[in-house]
């Protein structure tokens, strides 16, 4: 899997149709995307554009009904530790402490206890939760819960981090801070990130490439590389130019629907 | 993420980490007074009823119900002897021990059967389709209705008593376990799966802990029902037990002994519920609704 010519993720003509009560809903049609190792990709679009469906297919929670999703050139068999998911509603285990939530993955994979302890300590430090190591999720703020969710995925040696509107439920200040922290982590760890959002500014602030998606049926409309130097200044004219361009494009997809 | 936890957004101070530590300040201000007030309120109705009982029965030699003082004397004789010196004197502990063994024995059997069954019914559709209809039809049948059949199946004596207590405790545990398992958030199964915990490993690491609050409610109700049905359970011809002593005293018109038996069952049931609740609180400290 070290072959540099094989992309870490290869989405080939992926389609997904949900069937419920005899009605079928086309959530995703003909999606194509290749992701290189270490890239930060944002999937941007309004609700119903299939961005979460695509993420869940890569996670292995859903099977594609057409095309194929490959990781390192091999079909994705189902959910697994190589692709860690960070949910908007955290998905932490409420009966486990911060420490045990982070150690859940290594324990499931049968790592020896001393190694788990070291790993957990390292990632608790990395997300700055030393004082809360023994707290339970209901004692944490939203931002702290999401830090635990991120640490839990990293502690499990995930190669790809899948984030489904992870900061959507947080207040604006916490969100900005976690965006900075996430970029910092990404730079230091060389992870590949697939990040779903419906906020244009968030996508431009974070991504190497923004994948624009549109609904009815969900599909990939365009892919834009963001060539702004990091750390990006959201109030700079260059940032605004990109925002205006993406915004116009995003709304042009909706205009026929709204009319 | 080197900045540490965000300031101002923390719901608790660093010093009060364990759950339950966030006790309301009112209880800290006057714990003695508040506790006294609660105890006073709790005792008000029993004291009133006791008074009515006393006034209605005392000084009436032909009353079918003995006055409280007489029951109290009988209770001391049952426990320690030396007052009446009849066949019942000093036998209370043997009866209590026999009933405790049946209550906890039947309860343990019920838990041992209902927990795994509940986990399977809640999680495996085939098992649910196979067992649920039968169990739902058997469930409304009262334990008293099982008494004659139990005595045919298990004979006179303690085995029938165990079976009836088992029946009484089984359904509350089963129903609450199934409910707990079925209400586990689907998100947690996804989280476990993407962390590498899949298939049957999820039973021990996700289903059981997530359903534990419900399971505990079921165990508590089940133990309560075990005490409720102990008298019926001991109508099966056993010689010892609080139910047996009540039945025997009834035939001899020793109503004061009947009332003593009732009181001891009440207290024993109350104490055993209190113990289970304490265990539950310490095990479920993580759950905001139990901690």
Which range, of A91-100, A190-199, B22-31, averages the lowest pLDDT?
A: B22-31
CB distance A139–B12 less than 8 Å? yes
- CB-based burial label for A115 (10 Å; 0-12, 13-18, 19+): exposed
DSSP, res B141: S
Q: Where are the domains of chain B?
A: 92-283
**Cβ neighbours, 10 Å, residue B78:** 25
**Is the pLDDT assigned to residue B27 strictly greater than 90?**
no
pLDDT band, residue A233 (cuts 50/70/90): very high
| C-alpha to C-alpha distance for B126 and B131, rounded to whole angstroms | 9
pLDDT score for B156: 86
Q: What is the CA radius of gyration of chain A?
A: 19
User: Per-residue pLDDT for B20 more than 70?
Assistant: no
Task: Measure CA of the first residue to CA of the last residue in chain A; give whole Å.
Answer: 49
Report if residue A155 sits inside a domain.
yes
pLDDT of residue B72 exceeding 50, the answer is yes
Tell me how far the alpha carbon of residue A259 is from its chain's centroid: 32
| pLDDT value for B4 | 41
Lowest mean pLDDT across A159-168, A241-250, B14-23: B14-23
CA dist., res. A231 & res. A179, Å (int):
11
Specify whether the CB–CB gap between A69 and A15 falls below 8 A: no
Nearest by CB to A105, from B18, B196, B287: name it. B196
Write out chain B residues lying below 8 Å of A84, CB-based.
194-195
In a domain, A237, yes or no: yes
Cβ B6–A141 below 8 Å, yes or no? yes
Q: What's the pLDDT tens digit per position in B59-68?
A: 888 888 999 9
- Per-residue pLDDT band for A4 (boundaries 50, 70, 90) equals low
Mean pLDDT of B74-91: 91
Here the tokens at position A15 are 């389609």
Q: How confident is the model at residue B30 (pLDDT cuts 50, 70, 90)?
A: low
pTM: 0.82
CA dist B45 and B189 (Å) reads 49
Of the partner residues B14, B187, B212, the one whose CB lies closest to the CB of residue A95: B212
Say how far apart CA A219 and CA B207 lie, in whole Å.
Answer: 36
What is the four-CA torsion angle of B102, B105, B111, B117, rounded to 10 degrees?
-100
Residue B259 has pLDDT above 90, yes or no: yes
- In this prediction, residues A146-162 reach a mean pLDDT of 94
CA distance A85 to A52: 11
Nearest CA in chain A to B285: A95
Question: Hey, are the CB atoms on B3 and A95 less than 8 Å from each other?
Answer: no
Contact A246, A204 (CB under 8 A): yes
In a domain, A183, yes or no: yes
Q: Is residue A60 part of a domain?
A: no
Average predicted confidence (pLDDT) for chain A: 92
How much is the average pLDDT of A170-192? 93
Would you state the structure tokens that stand for residue A189, as one six-digit string?
Answer: 């760890």
Please state the rounded mean pLDDT for residues A135-162.
94
**What's the pLDDT at B28?**
52
A177 at B interface, C-beta within 8 A: yes
Structure tokens at A194: 């697939």
C-alpha–C-alpha distance, residues B250 and B74, integer Å: 15
**Residues on chain B touching A169 (C-beta within 8 angstroms):** none
Q: How many structural domains comprise chain A?
A: 1
Nearest to A184 by CA among A144, A121, A128: A128
CA distance A10 to A254: 28
What ipTM did this prediction achieve?
Answer: 0.91
**Which 3 state secondary structure label does DSSP give B241?**
coil
* Strand extents, DSSP E, chain A: 9-20, 23-35, 40-44, 66-71, 74-75, 83-86, 160-164, 192-197, 209-214, 219-225
| CATH 1.10.540.10 is the classification of domain B92-283 | no
Residues 6 or more apart in contact with residue A32 via CB below 8 angstroms: A11, A12, A13, A14, A220
Residue A216's pLDDT band (cuts 50, 70, 90):
confident
Q: For position B1, what pLDDT does the model report?
A: 41
User: What's the confidence (pLDDT) of residue A252?
Assistant: 78
CATH classification at residue A226: 3.40.50.300
| Three-state helix/strand/coil letters over B95-139 | HHHHHHHHHHHHHHHHHHHHHHHHHHHHHCHHHHHHHHHHHHHHC
Range of the domain at A221: 39-49+82-258
Residues 6+ apart with CB under 8 A from B217: B176
CA distance B209 to B216: 11
pLDDT tier, A48 (very low <50, low <70, confident <90, very high otherwise): confident
Distance CA A135, CA B146 (A): 49
Q: What is the pLDDT of residue B47?
A: 94
Cβ atoms of residues A137 and A149 within 8 Å: no
Q: Which residues on A lie below 8 Å from B206 (Cβ)?
A: 93
Residue A84: beta bridge partners? A161
Residue B12: pLDDT above 50? no
Lowest-confidence region among B18-22, B62-66, B81-85: B18-22
Query: b/e map of A59-84 (b: 16 or more CB within 10 Å)?
Result: bbbbebbebebbbbeeebeebbbbbb
CB–CB of B1 and A152 under 8 A?
A: no
Contact indicator for A162, A83 with CB cutoff of 8 Å? yes
CA distance B192 to B202: 7
Residue A34 CB coordination number (10 Å): 14
Letter string b/e over residues B164-198, b meaning 16 or more CB atoms within 10 A of that residue's CB: bbbbbbbbbbbbbbbbbbeebeeebbbbbbbbbbe
Question: Which of B188, B191, B216 has the most A C-beta neighbours within 10 Å, making it the best mutation to test the interface with A?
Answer: B191
For residues B32 and A15, give the distance between their C-alpha atoms in angstroms, rounded to a whole number: 67
Q: In chain A, whose CA is at the least distance from the CA of B193?
A: A79
B255 vs B14, higher pLDDT: B255
Residue A250 in domain: yes
**Pick from A185, A134, A192: which is nearest to A162 by CA?**
A192
Q: Could you give the CA distance from residue B279 to residue B87 in angstroms, rounded to a whole number? A: 39
pLDDT band at A20 (very low <50, low <70, confident <90, very high): confident
Identify which has the larger pLDDT, B60 or A133.
A133
């Amino acid at each position: 899997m070290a072959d540099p010519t094989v992309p870490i993720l290869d989405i080939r003509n992926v389609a997904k149709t949900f069937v419920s009560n005899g009605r079928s809903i086309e959530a995703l049609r003909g999606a194509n995307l290749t992701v290189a190792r270490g890239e930060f990709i944002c999937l941007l679009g309004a609700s119903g554009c299939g961005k979460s469906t695509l993420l869940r297919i890569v996670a292995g929670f859903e099977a594609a009904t057409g095309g194929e999703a490959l990781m390192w050139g091999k079909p994705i068999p189902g959910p697994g530790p190589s692709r860690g998911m960070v949910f908007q509603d955290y998905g932490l285990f409420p009966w486990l402490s911060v420490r045990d939530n982070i150690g859940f993955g290594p324990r499931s994979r049968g790592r020896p206890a001393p190694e788990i302890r070291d790993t957990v300590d390292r990632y608790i430090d990395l997300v700055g939760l030393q004082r809360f190591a023994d707290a339970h999720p209901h004692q944490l703020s939203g931002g702290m819960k999401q830090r635990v969710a991120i640490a839990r995925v990293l502690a499990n040696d995930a190669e790809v981090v899948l984030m489904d509107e992870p900061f959507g439920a947080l207040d604006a200040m916490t969100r900005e801070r976690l965006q900075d922290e996430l970029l910092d982590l990404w730079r230091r760890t060389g992870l590949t990130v697939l990040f779903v959002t419906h906020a244009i500014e968030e996508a431009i602030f974070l991504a190497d490439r923004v994948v624009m998606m549109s609904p009815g049926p969900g599909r990939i409309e365009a892919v834009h590389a963001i060539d702004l130097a990091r750390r990006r200044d959201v109030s700079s004219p260059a940032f605004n130019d990109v925002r205006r361009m993406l915004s116009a494009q995003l709304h042009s997809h909706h205009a026929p629907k709204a009319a | 993420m080197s900045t540490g936890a965000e300031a101002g957004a923390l719901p608790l101070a660093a010093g009060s980490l364990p759950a339950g530590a966030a006790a309301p300040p009112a209880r800290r201000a006057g714990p003695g007074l508040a506790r006294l007030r609660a105890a006073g309120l709790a005792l008000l109705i029993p004291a009133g009823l006791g008074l009515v009982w006393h006034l209605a029965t005392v000084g009436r030699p032909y009353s079918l119900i003995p006055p409280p003082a007489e029951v109290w004397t009988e209770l001391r004789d049952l426990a320690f002897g030396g007052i009446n010196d009849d066949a019942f004197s000093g036998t209370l502990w043997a009866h209590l021990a026999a009933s405790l063994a049946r209550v906890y024995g039947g309860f343990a059997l019920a838990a041992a059967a209902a927990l795994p069954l509940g986990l399977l019914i809640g999680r495996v559709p085939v098992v649910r389709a196979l067992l649920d209809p039968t169990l739902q039809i058997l469930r409304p049948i009262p334990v008293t209705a099982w008494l004659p059949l139990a005595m045919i199946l298990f004979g006179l004596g303690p085995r029938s008593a165990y079976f009836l207590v088992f029946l009484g405790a089984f359904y509350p545990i089963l129903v609450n376990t199934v409910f707990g398992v079925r209400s586990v958030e689907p998100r947690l199964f996804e989280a476990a799966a993407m962390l590498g915990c899949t298939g049957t490993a999820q039973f021990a690491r996700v289903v059981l802990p997530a359903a534990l609050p419900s399971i505990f409610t079921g165990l508590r109700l089940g133990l309560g029902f075990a005490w409720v049905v102990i008298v019926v359970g001991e109508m099966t011809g056993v010689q010892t037990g609080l139910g047996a002593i009540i039945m025997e005293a009834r035939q001899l018109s020793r109503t004061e002994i009947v009332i003593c038996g009732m009181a001891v069952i009440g207290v024993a049931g109350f104490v055993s519920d209190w113990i289970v609740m304490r265990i539950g609180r310490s095990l479920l400290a993580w759950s905001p609704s139990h901690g």
